[in-house]
Structure 1
Amino acid sequence: MGHNFLSDANTIQLLLLLYFSIATLSQHSSNFLTHPPYKFCSNTSLYEANSPFQNNLQTLMSYLASNASVSNQYHAYAGNDPDRVYAQYMCYNYITNEKCSACIDAASQDIMQLCPNNRNATVWEELCQLRFSNKNFIGQLDFSGNIPLANRETIENSVQFISVVNENFSNLTKKAAFEPTQSMYATGKLALSDIDTLYTLMQCTTDLSSHDCNTCLQVAIQNISNCCYVGRGARLLSRSCYFRYELYAFYEGAAEYSGTQKVYNFPRGKTLTILKIVLGTCIPTVVLAFLTASCIIYFRRISRKETDEEKSHLAFLQELRKSSGSTLAEGNKVKNIVFG
């Protein structure tokens, strides 16, 4: 029976594709939470270089960066229609004016580089966010294009985690949105075990109404719950609000908090992390070993087939020699064949 070399070749190609797919997936999964700045570029409407819109934008970016040294939130516009530019920044309330100024200065440069010639763009830095548009968005709730991001480390008992933290998130949402003294900003911490504490931050842009702030944060929590509750940390980037939780004190002043807290017992998220490491290491190794073994088998089959063909050819010639008086040279090569 003949050997199907085409089938072997397809198998090898499939194994190669499987191996490189797993390697690529492993690489992407390890970088699920990248580093800021994060960006949103509309790319639907672009301005021309040296246009009135670009001049207004550059003027406004410079003005906002200088104003950030005295205010953690601000919005303004520059120019006249149709080249008017609206812009707004929000620094997270726990940082100083000095850090806010530095953050907005970096954001104003990043947004021009990351979203070149865009008339509508947003950039999120680690400590602030900056937005501009050719349309007036001041005072308008906008949660389109929300970006959820999750920590690569996972919580083992995510179901129990969700049931506990949802109430905590809901209380903080109301506090940020409806308590005037909070200025649409709230932080909280919740002990989950003897060693794990949940730190949460919520903030809205102050041009929103209390109702819109509440809506923005509720949507943010829903976005996070749909994708990221298994992570030991997550953040939701929105144009109108900001939501983040971690199992460490990521905002200043969190360590000074004191008060009575209910303690919930959660297993630490090491089991799934270890499992991910083991699978990420073993699966490519197993696939590579399988691929190597398949290649060895493939080439052995080729060698065996060539040997069998040589033997068959030699036997055929020997039969001819017996019946027709053929002579063979050394090395089994035909020198002369005489047929009677």
Structure 2
Amino acid sequence: MGDSFPNFAKTTQLLLQCFFIANLLDLAYADPPYKVCSNISNQAANSSFQNNLKSLMSSLPSNASASKLYNISTGNDLERVYAQYMCLNYVTNESCSTCIGVASQDIMQLCPEDKEAVVWEELCQLRYSNQSFLGHLDVSGNIPLDNKKNVENPEQFRVIVNETLSSLTEQAAFNASEAMYATGEVVFTNTDTLYALVQCSTDLSPDDCSTCLRVAIANISSCCYASRGGRVLSRSCYLRYELYAFYEGANESAESPVAGKSNRRKIWMIIIVTVASALLVAVILGSYIYCLAMKKETKENTRQDGKCHGIGHSDLNDFQIRGFHRDDLIDRESPFMDLASIYAATDNFSDSNLLGQGGFGPVYKILIFRPGDEADQ
């Protein structure tokens, strides 16, 4: 009994140690650095290629303090080494230099005798090869990663992720001012905001950058679309999204995708309604002015038509009749002759003044007088 207890304690301690080591291995696998080695030997550890590689790797951190993207080569013919690093665009030059310093050590330890290798750290990536790869798109061996925690409504999340990454791809690849780098934030729920980042190696053409990122989107969509976060490690580009602000300069007050589209619709509706209203006001105002002008013209015409200018004689204006002045024949307020004037002008409708029969009755000759003259018979 006394011997069994120490054995049990040793067994328990051994199991705990194994569990701790297993967790360490799991953490080592889950966290950077991530690597891809060619498994093609450079023949000997002390070969010219290996010496050139060591020399080149030692020089990269100092270059990273001045530039976040850099490529270099050294050596001759078969021993020539080509290398390139890329830091994420939002990091400082100091952080870039530190990251490349770590990456140059990791790549030598993880792929010590390979003629080609690539290592991804948290903020940068570093690759080398015995063949020139500058300006060449390479999506072979892409590594999609997720954070193993899923969202509650994955299909809706997948749509928003794809739309956001596609929009950023167009921006990074074809907007020259962006230098093949773009970030974006979109509200997913009341409590969650999607943060996304895409970046290409600037030695690529815009079309190759777009292709690289679209392949990465397909990689992440096929493996990890329900995950709350994910990234794709590629030799030629980088893609990542999370439900937290993982990059510097992220805007915490992001725009909702639904609200964003709604706001754009509202802006267009405001523009359309404003223009239509302005046109309608112009039409109404023009019609009103036209009606006023027509009304004024009608009044002028009516006023002019109400005046009877000299009938049969150019010198007679304002309705003067021989033998009678206008004031004697016509009331100022009426266009008609009074009965007394008619009796006087027709000699009390004398038959001697009857001219004939018209459509409205007998027609009489009117005796016209000028003031001071005797009547004409």
TM-score range (shorter-chain normalised) is 0.5 to 0.7
Which 4+ runs in 1 deviate beyond 4 A?
30-33, 257-260
**Corresponding residue SS for 1:101:** helix
Counterpart Cα distance in 2 of 1:221 and 1:230: 13
Q: Tell me if the contact between 2:216 and 2:239 (Cα under 8 Å) persists in the aligned partners.
A: yes
From 236, 241, 253, the counterpart of 2:237: 241
How far off its partner does 1:257 sit?
5.6
Alignment match, 1:68: 64
CA shift, 1:89, in A, is 0.1
What CA deviation, in whole Å up to 9, does each residue of 1:26-72 have, x standing for no partner? Answer: 989x8697100000001024341111001110111122221000000
Residue 165 of structure 1, CA deviation: 2.3
Task: Work out the CA distance in 1 between the residues paired with 2:39 and 2:215.
Answer: 25
Query: Aligned equivalents of 1:27 and 1:152: distance in 2?
Result: 16
After TM superposition, give the deviation of residue 90 of structure 1 in Å: 0.2
> Cα distance 1:34–1:106, how it changes in 2: closer, same or farther (>3 A)?
same
2:114 and 2:59 map into 1 onto residues whose CA distance is: 19
Measured in 1, the distance between the counterparts of 2:255 and 2:126 equals 37
- Further displaced range: 165-174 or 34-43: 165-174
1:188 corresponds to 2:198: no
For the pair shown, the structure with the greater C-alpha radius of gyration is: 2
In the alignment, which residue of structure 1 is the partner of 2:118? Answer: 122
> Quick one: distance in 2 between partners of 1:162 and 1:230?
7
Check conservation: 1:103, 1:127, Cα contact below 8 A: yes
Could you say what secondary structure the match of 2:73 adopts?
Answer: strand
From 248, 251, 254, the equivalent of 2:247 is: 251
- Name the TM-score, length of structure 2 as normaliser: 0.60
RMSD between aligned residues? 2.1
Cα displacement (A) at 1:119: 0.7
**Structure 2 CA distance, aligned partners of 1:242 and 1:86?**
20
- How is 1:1-340 mapped onto 2 (pairs within 5 angstroms)? 34-254=30-250, 256=251, 260-262=255-257
In structure 1, list runs of 5 or more residues that go unmatched.
1-22, 265-340
Separation of aligned partners in 2, 1:251 and 1:111: 25
CA contact (8 A) 2:188 2:256 kept: no
Q: Tell whether the 8 Å contact from 2:42 to 2:49 is kept in structure 1 after alignment.
A: no
Distance 1:158 1:89 in 2: 35
CA displacement, residues 210-234 of structure 1 (integer Å, 9 cap, x when unaligned) = 0000000000000000101111100
Report which structure shows greater RCO (CA 8 Å, sep ≥6). 1
Q: 1:32 to 1:156 in 2, by over 3 A?
A: farther
Q: Which amino acid in 2 is paired with 1:165?
A: V
SS in 2 for 1:71: coil
Question: CA–CA distance in 1 between the matches of 2:23 and 2:37?
Answer: 25
Give the residue type in structure 2 aligned to 1:85. V
Give yes or no for contact 1:178–1:210 (8 Å, CA) kept in 2.
yes
Whether the 8 Å CA contact 2:185–2:196 is kept in 1: the answer is yes
Instruction: Please name the residue that 2:360 is paired with.
Output: none
Give CA deviations for 1:167-186 in whole Å, capped at 9, x if unaligned.
Answer: 21111000010101111000
Partner Cα separation in structure 1 for residue 231 and residue 195 of structure 2: 12
Contact 1:32 1:151 in 2 (8 A): no
How big is each residue's C-alpha offset from its partner over 1:242-269, in whole Å with a ceiling of 9 and x where there is no partner?
A: 0000000000111x465644358xxxxx
Code of the aligned partner of 2:213: L
- Contact between 2:193 and 2:254, CA under 8 Å: does it hold in 1? no
- Aligned-residue identity in percent: 61
CA distance in 1 between counterparts of 2:162 and 2:117 reads 31
1:120·1:133 contact (CA, 8 Å) conserved in 2?
A: yes
- Return the alpha-carbon distance in structure 2 between the equivalents of residues 160 and 33 of structure 1: 30
What amino acid is the match of 1:54?
Q
Amino acid at match of 1:195: T
Question: Is the 1:41–1:115 Cα contact (8 Å) retained in structure 2?
Answer: yes
In 1, Cα distance between equivalents of 2:152 and 2:113:
45
2 CA distance for matches of 1:205 and 1:52?
A: 28
- SS of residue matched to 1:244: strand
